[in-house]
Amino acid sequence: AAQLEASPRPLSTDEEPTALEHITNYNNYYEFGTGKEDPAKKAHTLTTEPWTVKVDGLVSRPAEFDLEDLLKPVTLEERIYRLRCVEGWSMVIPWVGFPLSEVLNRVEPLGSAKFVAFETVMRPDEMPGLRAFFNVLDWPYVEGLRLDEAMHPLTILTVGLYGETLPNQNGAPIRLIVPWKYGFKSIKSIVRITLTEEQPPTSWNKQNPREYGFYSNVNPEVDHPRWSQATELPIGQGIFAKRKPTLLFNGYADQVAQLYAGMDLTKFY
Amino acid sequence: MSKALRFRLLRAALYWVGFAPAVWVFYLGFTNQLGANPVRTLEQELGIWTLRFLIATLMVTPLRNVTGISLLRYRRTLGLLTFYYALLHFTTYMLIDYRLDLQAIAADIVKRPYITFGMLAFAILVPLAVTSNDRMVRRLGGAWAKLHRWVYLAAAAAAVHYLLVVKSWPMEPLVYFAIVAVLLAYRLGKHLRRRRRPAVA
């Protein structure tokens, strides 16, 4: 991985980051298998150069950016964020990225745009999970945000980790990070960003709408139908790691709660 | 070597081999070699070994019927290994994962189907393990066989427990579920055939 220049910014948490070894060896990236260590073992087959990201839909200036062109005008920042997986574990990760809003502003969303849809690359010949006996998800992986969520300063496109370019298993070369939502919302290896008027379909919601909603905000009060979300197990703290209470919006309530003012979070889970 | 001595030696060997995975995974756990989420890995390993020994126990009869190889004398050992692994799995969940947070555990049992099924399987295995000695076999007579048929329900509950604990449909829980389903269907098929054919006087 190559070194990245990044300036630290105030939006970071001051918690101790999880070890790089764990961040890069405990992943959910089903395109490379459903085991936690499958992505670390198998994702090296993904070609990340050259890479283009298409930004289209309800925008005045749709474009297909080469990754270099996408990154040229932005200032990379280090953002140390908490990550809470819907499965009940958590990490603290020093990402390197920039606000998604910078890309969206560049293409000039139309007034009719209300949502942003994202799509992961789909290459069966490079992704063994896509050649599996049967599909665990409907490929390609898709995700979505409301436009105001996408424009929020905490929402970033990420190209690095611990000061270096992203390893493939972590979603290289460019992925989304939305720190107040369960990890699966933070889609990996993005090839397309589309602004839409209607709420776009999202992969886990399609797979099981009762268990995974469109919003998927971290919320200790709203349990997954099959397990509690009240606590989480921090990764990388050995066999005697203690569960800790999960925080509303993953601890980012001060910054994001107003996005959901007046909404019933049990209904819009 | 007498037959009895040979049996006892083989049985002891089976225990040693049977416990090896548990010793190994606890060793890795306590020396911090179980990776990013050691508690989950520990639970999963002990759980999968419980299911493996349960399947091995249920294989004894069909194996004899199909191939003529009888491991009937080792079935009790396999059954007890199943129970010991279930106990380790259960204890790990209670002590290491939830640190005896009884309120959270009680809520889990009531609200989480996968925990409910797991607890059901374990609750069935307890009386089976307790009544597995010769004295109880003699004392319970015909009731013993009836009681021990509950193992089928335990197996079904354990397979469902594994299926429900994962986020989507990965291969392993489906494979174990299919094996248990085949073994139970085999039993059910035999049972139905026997009932349809009246006993010859």
Domain boundaries, given as residue ranges, for chain A? 7-260
pLDDT at A225 over 90: no
CATH topology of domain A7-260: Sulfite Oxidase; Chain A, domain 2 (3.90.420)
Q: Render pLDDT for B158-199 as a digit per residue (tens, 0 to 9).
A: 999 999 988 777 889 999 999 999 999 999 998 888 887 765
Q: Quick one: average pLDDT of A143-167? A: 98
What's the DSSP call for residue A173? S
Tens-digit pLDDT profile for residues B27-47: 999 998 998 999 999 999 999
- Looking at chain B, which residue has its C-alpha nearest residue A33? B170
**Residue from A239, A220, A241 nearest A231 by CA:** A220
Q: What is the pLDDT averaged over residues A77-100? A: 97
A226 contact B CB<8A = yes
The predicted model gives A145-174 an average pLDDT of 98
| pLDDT for res A38 | 95
| pLDDT tens sequence across B77-96 | 999 999 999 999 999 999 99
Which residue from B minimizes the CA distance to A207?
B168
Residue B198 pLDDT: 64
User: CB distance A136–B98 less than 8 Å?
Assistant: no
In terms of CA atoms, which chain A residue is nearest residue B105? A228
Q: Residue B134 has what pLDDT?
A: 93
On whether the CB atoms of residues B51 and B21 are closer than 8 A, the answer is no
The rounded Cα A253 to chain-centroid distance in angstroms is 18
**B177 to chain A, minimum CA–CA distance in Å?**
16
Beta bridge partners of A65: A53
Q: How far is CA B193 from the centre of its chain?
A: 27
Segments making up each domain of chain B, as ranges: 3-193
Residue contacts between A and B (CB atoms, under 8 Å): 72
Beta bridge partners of A176: A157
Give the whole-angstrom CA distance, residue B91 versus residue B89. Answer: 6
Alpha carbons A259 and A240: distance in angstroms, whole number: 37
Instruction: Report the SS3 class of residue A80.
Output: strand
Q: How far is it, in rounded angstroms, from Cα B124 to Cα B114?
A: 16
Within chain B, strands assigned E span none
A70: how many CB neighbours lie within 10 A of its CB?
23
Q: b or e along B156-168 (b: 16 or more beta carbons within 10 Å of the residue's beta carbon)?
A: bbbbbbbbbbbbe
Nearest Cα neighbor of A129 from A25, A51, A59, A41 is A41
